Amino acid sequence: MLYHLYETQRAFLSPFSEFASASSKLYAHPLSPFSHAPGAQRMAASFDLVHRLTKEYEKPTFGINTVQVGETEVAVQEQAAVEKPFCKLIRFKRFT
C-alpha cells in the first residue's frame, strides 16, 4: 500500500520537476529577460532546489569485486538475497 502511494506521488511530481528545471534555467540564463528581474537569482535557486528534491536518481553500484579474508583477496559476486518493492538485500557470495 505504501509503495503504491510513493509511486503515485513520484508520477504526480514528475511533470512538476521538469517545470521546475525549465523555470530554473529561465531565471538563471543571462540572455533571458527574466534573469534581470529583482529576485531572479532566488527564484532560480528555489526552482533548482525543487527540481533536485523531486528528480529521480540512479542507484549507484557497489563496485565490490574482491574482499580481504585474512591475508588473501577473495573474489565475490553480488546476489539479491531478498527483493522487496522498496529495497533489495544484497549478498556478496564468494566466487568459486
DSSP secondary structure letters along 66-94: EEEETTEEEEEEEEEEEE-SS-EEEEEEE
- Same domain for 68 and 49? no
- Same domain for 12 and 37? yes
pLDDT at 82: 93
- Same domain for 65 and 25? no
pLDDT at 48: 97
Where does residue 69 rank: exposed (0-12), middle (13-18), buried (19+ CB within 10 A)? exposed
- Same domain for 20 and 35? yes
Q: Which helix (H) or strand (E) holds 61?
A: none
* pTM assigned to the model: 0.66
- Same domain for 50 and 64? no
pLDDT, tens only, 21-73: 999 999 999 999 999 999 999 999 999 999 999 998 888 888 899 999 899 99
Q: Which helix (H) or strand (E) holds 25?
A: helix 2-28
- Same domain for 24 and 47? yes
- Same domain for 47 and 81? no
Residues 94, 75: Cα–Cα separation, whole Å: 6
What is the count of structural domains for the chain? 2
65 is in which domain, residue-wise?
A: 60-96
